[in-house]
Amino acid sequence: MIAIDSALFEDTAVSAETRAFNADLLETLSALPDPWQFEPALVRQTRAEGGGPFPLPEKSPRAETVTIPGPGGPIPMRIVAPTGAPRGVYLHFHGGGWTLGTTDQQDDRLLEIADNCGLVVVSVDYRLAPEHPYPAGPDDCEAAALWLVEHAKEFRTDRLTIGGESAGAHLAVVTLLRLRDRRRMTPFCGANLVAGCYDLALTPSVRRWGAGKLVLNTRDIEMFVAHFLSGPARDVADPDISPIHGDLSGLPPALFSVGSRDPLLDDSLFMAQRWASSGNPTALDVAPGGCHVFQAFPIAIARESRKRIDAFLTKAVAGT
């Protein structure tokens, strides 16, 4: 089982820098208009112009966008190769509540992973809700994983890792379960799971969070889930929707990273325990005071978390 140090959740564990950053972020986001009064397409445009909660990095000339066939049409994928010979591939799914986000809004982090870990990063532009509700996004992610398995040798490696942030972490786990159960394959040697949402019935930390907006609040998550499941009625306990309810045996080593000030905290705490109790190597990294996907911000806990993620991916492709 995973040992959890209760001291990580004490106010005294939060650094002065993190405390000040959270206060500024809360003030900034609380002053913005309610995003749910706008159509998702407009919110996407605003984020693409730098108006979202996360810093918008410059697009890298090293990144290449290709398309592959998908179940609902072509799937764009953004590929960033390391400067040296690749040691492996990282299949990445971006966050955004299954509703927002694109593959070209985190080029700086994709480059960092590529160069620090020696990985070809393949980030998937899966279809978004509510225009394309469940199962469109998971179907695209499964198709991208199958394509990668078939074409991995084109990248001169067969060492494959998978992961993502927030909704992207959810999609990574769903993809692992689909490949194991539907395709009888377990091709990935590591899973990097950052602040995922694994129970769409909503864990206690989500339900109890309330209106305070450190990137996310309770209403945001409820709305994202509603968009994702806006098609025919579904059983929210279906592991293809809420993977925390699935059989998690036979899955790769995983690193769960989350901040203690993230509404989705319980999702990582609960899922890490289930991952470990299912017999899979598991690491849990809780950052005191970290907000949702704090790794995207220019603060010390973000740099430290990214280093631990990079070390995990490097070890995964090395088989250590």
pLDDT of residue 231: 87
pLDDT of residue 1: 72
Instruction: Supply the DSSP string of 158-197, one letter for each residue.
Output: --EEEEEETHHHHHHHHHHHHHHHHH----EEEEEEES--
Assign 91 to helix, strand or coil.
strand
Q: Which residues pair with 65 in a beta bridge?
A: 78
pLDDT of residue 153: 87
pLDDT of residue 52: 87
Domains assigned to the chain: 13-318 (3.40.50.1820)
Q: Which residues pair with 188 in a beta bridge?
A: 160
pLDDT of residue 20: 98
The alpha carbon of 156 is separated from its chain's Cα centroid by a whole number of angstroms, namely 26
Residue 180 is encoded by which pair of tokens? Answer: 């194991």
pLDDT of residue 14: 98
**Single pTM value for the model:** 0.98
Residues of the chain with pLDDT under 70: none
